[in-house]
Chains A and B, each alone.
Chain A
Amino acid sequence: MAKSSVLTASGISLTIGQATLLDHVDLTITSGEMVAIVGPNGAGKSTLLRLLSADLRASRGAITLKGCDLHAWSPAELAMRRAMLSQHVSVSFPFTVEEVVQMGRGNMPLASAQVLVDAAIDEVGLGDFRYRELPTLSGGEQQRAHFARILVQLACGEAAHGPGILLLDEPTSSLDLRHQIELVEISRQRARSGTAVIAVLHDLNLAVRFADRIVVMRNGVIAAEGTPAETITSDVIRRVFDIDAVVARTEDGAPYLLPQMMQQIAISSVVAD
């Protein structure tokens, strides 16, 4: 499959009041690519994702989606080309899992979208919960339901306009290990068919498993960018996260991160007093 850039951010900055949340970030995403954005708290990861989803507007710089300015798309057109899973979605009314997942269909008639809804519910393993009200489910189950909703949105859009973009903001934050891996697998499967997947992740080891490319952010700028082997090094970890870490290698050569005890410094300084 020919790789072409679907999403390009050039020199985007976001300043709110005195604070610069994002400073001159360049990023190009090609179709079929899986990109992980990592970094410490407040590094601007979610801000970058919200800019890429057109939720926020950059103070400087431009973002193009499939060759057009991101904000030139109407909300409905945009939704057919990019799907975004937000970090916290609270539902205060008693919609069932199925009803929430159906919301992903946009303007597609329910009759033709139902197949996609069924498939997505099964894919995230919520078949038994389909007629349960969302507020009665656990945080992880709710997160999976929203993921299914996003999958339906992606599928509806891709059916009409070809491979789109899937943006995930800490999609695994409430998931257990098995469902984290399943979510990664589902995303990778979408990437194989041409979808560009961009995810903000906290777990660096999961990011290594997840991504073809890792973007490491710090203080609103990109501190490092490249393949997992290039970016997850003890040097980068020290520079970005201010911790010492041992980077081991798995059998297939992927880096694996083991943080060192940080307290040693703190304890020794207390003893010195």
Chain B
Amino acid sequence: MSAADAKLTAFVRTKGRVRRPATVVVLCGLLAALLLTVLLATTVGAAGIPLSRLPAALGLTATDPANPFAARDQLVLWSIRIPRIAIAAMIGGMLGAAGAIMQGLFRNPLADPALVGVSSGGALAAAGAIVISDSRFAHYVAFLQPFLLPLAAFIGSLLTTIILYRISSRSGRTSIALFLLAGIAIAAIANAGIGLLVFIADDRQLRDITFWLLGSLSGATWSKAATIAPMLALGLIGMLFTSRGLDVLILGESEAFHSGVDVERLKRICIVLVSVMTGAAVSVCGVIGFVGIVVPHLLRLMIGPGHRLLLPASVGLGACLLVGADTLARTIVAPAEMPIGILTAAVGAPIFLLILLRQRGLVGL
């Protein structure tokens, strides 16, 4: 073989070659990033707690008697900031994972619970629950407190996802254009419903409803964190059973069935997982868009589309992203607070457009 031939062969062998980082490296890296973000998030805020005072405030070391803020630090940290960070991390993780699962289920990188109305469906149901639980029907639902909102949001998200799947999927194929358009229509219907509820709500209900529409983490409490923690756990466990199936599902429903996947069961699990996680997120902090798009997209560029790693990594990166975004939201215009939805949309919408432009052929535009 001549030198030129050898060079050509070497070129062909290396051209377009993709290397995937090791699973351990990715997960450890994300964990380290999350710890760093959390550390940063605990120190900054309306009441700054410098790193030097952090161990004492956390109760890890004895309180420094010379520090006049010791008691305040502890109070801020334990009753306001840490629950908020915990909720931001859990919700970010759930939104990231819900996006990744939904994209696998719909074989479409543009799927996002907030974008196609799944979050809106959840929000509508939750808003409905607020109005009902405050009305004369209250005693019918009283036994469900404090799970009423997450439950309502879950059911709303579940119904929306099922309707969306029924509309956009025919004989095992999913039309991406139909999916996006149907999602927009569903979101519009849900938003109209929310508008109606806002219209008929009294002042106190209105305050509660408006709180989610803005999408904010400012109402974070330990009890809310405790309510959504099981949902995250459920999501994490569910992922173990879906990752292989989702990989093969990318090839199409028939192919997945031929490869031995119980497609109907897989779809049901995925729809429930997406709905549980989206519903949990919506019930605590309203509709936060684009996390579910940005997180899996960035990860696919770095680690590839295999769901065995993509799903847990989406939890990690989603957590990082939302803790970071929330920290920014509460400091950027301090002492006021910017709705976090604005931040995620500002970053997420351009990325969404970028994917859309790249996939133009796929969407059929």
Residues of A within 8 A of B (CB): 50, 53-55, 74-80, 83-84, 86, 89-96, 99-100, 103-104, 106-107, 128, 131-133, 136, 153
Contact yes or no, B259 A104, CB < 8 A: yes
With A92-B109, A99-B304, A103-B247 as given contacts, are A75 and B18 in contact (CB-CB < 8 Å)? no
20 contacts between A and B (CB under 8 A): A53-B258, A54-B257, A74-B262, A75-B257, A86-B252, A86-B254, A86-B258, A89-B251, A92-B108, A92-B359, A94-B305, A95-B304, A96-B18, A96-B304, A107-B244, A128-B9, A131-B19, A132-B17, A132-B18, A153-B259
A127 to chain B, nearest CB (A): 9
Shortest distance between the CB of A97 and any CB in chain B (Å): 10
* B250 is an interface residue with CB less than 8 A from chain A: yes
Contact of A75 among B244, B262, B359 (CB under 8 A): B262
A95/B306 contact (C-beta < 8 A), A104-B259, A136-B16 known: yes
Instruction: Please list the 3 inter-chain residue pairs (A to B) with the smallest Cβ-Cβ separation, ordered nearest first.
Output: A79-B260, A93-B305, A76-B260
Shortest A83–chain B CB gap in Å is 7
Q: Tell whether A79 pairs with B259 under 8 Å between CB atoms, given A55-B254, A95-B250, A133-B18.
A: yes
Specify which chain B residues have a CB less than 8 angstroms from the CB of A153 in the assembled complex. 259-260
Asked if residues B248 and A103 are in contact (CB atoms below 8 Å), the reply is: yes
- A106 close to B260 (CB less than 8 A): yes
- B residues 258-293 with Cβ under 8 Å of A? 258-263
Most chain A CB inside 10 Å of its own CB: which residue of B18, B108, B250? B18
Question: Which residue of chain B has its CB nearest to the CB of A90?
Answer: B252
- State A84–B107 Cα separation when bound (angstroms): 21
Q: Which residues of A contact B12 (CB under 8 A)?
A: 128
Report the minimum CB–CB distance from A213 to chain B (whole Å): 23
Shortest distance in angstroms between B247's beta carbon and chain A's nearest beta carbon? 6
Main secondary structure of the interface of B (DSSP, over half): loop
| A137 (CB) vs chain B CBs: closest residue | B16
Nearest CB on B from A174, distance (A): 16
- Is residue B53 contacting chain A, with contact meaning CB distance below 8 A? no
Residues of B within 8 A of A90 (CB): 252
Which residue in chain A gives the minimum CB-CB distance to B308?
A: A110
Q: Point out the residues of chain B lying under 8 angstroms from A128, CB to CB.
A: 9, 12-13
CA distance A80 to B300 in the complex (A): 30
> B1-31: which residues lie under 8 A (CB-CB) from chain A?
9, 12-13, 15-20
The residues of A that contact B250 with a CB separation of less than 8 Å are: 91-93, 95
**CA A210 to CA B261, docked complex, whole Å:** 31
**Which B residues form the contact surface with A (CB < 8 A)?**
9, 12-13, 15-20, 107-109, 244, 247-248, 250-252, 254-255, 257-263, 300, 304-306, 359, 362
Question: Which chain B residues border A74 with CB–CB below 8 Å?
Answer: 262
Q: Are A94 and B262 in contact (CB under 8 A)?
A: no
Q: How far does the Cβ of B179 sit from chain A's closest Cβ, in whole Å?
A: 12
A85 → chain B closest CB, angstroms: 9
Set of chain B residues within 8 Å of A103, measured between Cβ atoms: 247-248, 251, 259
Q: Are A75 and B263 in contact (CB under 8 A)?
A: yes
Q: Is the CB of B109 within 8 A of A83?
A: no
Q: How far is the CB of A91 from chain B (nearest CB, A)?
A: 6
4 further A-B pairs in the complex, CB-CB below 8 A; given A91-B251, A93-B107, A94-B300: A77-B260, A79-B259, A95-B247, A128-B12
Enumerate chain A residues within 8 angstroms of B251, measured Cβ to Cβ.
Answer: 89, 91, 100, 103
Given contacts A55-B258, A79-B260, A96-B304, contact A131 B18 (CB under 8 A): yes
Give B260's nearest chain A residue, CB to CB.
Answer: A79
Closest A residue to B17 using CB positions: A131
Q: Point out the residues of chain B lying under 8 angstroms from A89, CB to CB.
A: 251-252, 255
Other-chain residue from B244, B252, B260 in contact with A80 (beta carbon distance below 8 A): B260
Whether A76 lies near B262 (C-beta < 8 A) is: yes
Q: Give A84 to B248 CA distance when docked, in angstroms.
A: 14
B257–A55 touching, CB < 8 Å:
yes
A156's closest neighbor in chain B, by CB?
B260
Q: B16: which A residues are within 8 A, CB to CB? A: 132-133, 136
In the complex, A77 Cα to B247 Cα: how many Å? 19
Min CB gap B311→A, angstroms: 13
- State the CA gap A91–B104 with chains docked (Å): 11
Using CB atoms, name the residue of chain A closest to B301: A94
Which chain A residues lie closer than 8 Å to B258 at the CB level?
53, 55, 79, 83-84, 86
B299 CB, nearest partner CB in chain A, Å: 12
How far apart sit A128 and B306, CA to CA, in the bound complex (Å)? 21
Q: Report the Cα distance A21→B153, complex, angstroms.
A: 45
A133 nearest in chain B by CB position:
B18
Give the docked Cα–Cα distance between A123 and B304 (Å).
Answer: 25
Q: How far is the CA of A160 from the CA of B92 in the complex (A)?
A: 43
Contact B263 A99 (CB under 8 A): no
Chain B proximity of A130: nearest CB distance (Å): 9
Q: B108's closest neighbor in chain A, by CB?
A: A92
Please state if B259 and A106 are interface contacts (CB–CB under 8 Å): yes
Q: Do residues B304 and A94 form an inter-chain contact, with CB atoms below 8 A?
A: yes
Neighbouring A residues of B108 by C-beta, 8 Å: 92
Whether A93 contacts B260 in the complex (CB less than 8 A), given A132-B17, A132-B18, A136-B16, comes out as no
Contacts of B244 in A (CB 8 A): 107
Residues of B within 8 A of A107 (CB): 244, 260
Set of chain A residues within 8 Å of B9, measured between Cβ atoms: 128
Which residues of B are found within 8 Å of A96, using beta-carbon distances?
A: 18, 20, 304
A94 to B359, CA, bound (A): 12
Set of chain A residues within 8 Å of B259, measured between Cβ atoms: 79, 103-104, 106, 153
Closest to A93 in B: B305
CA distance A25 to B131 in the complex (A): 61
Cβ-closest chain A residue relative to B250? A93
CA distance A156 to B107 in the complex (A): 26
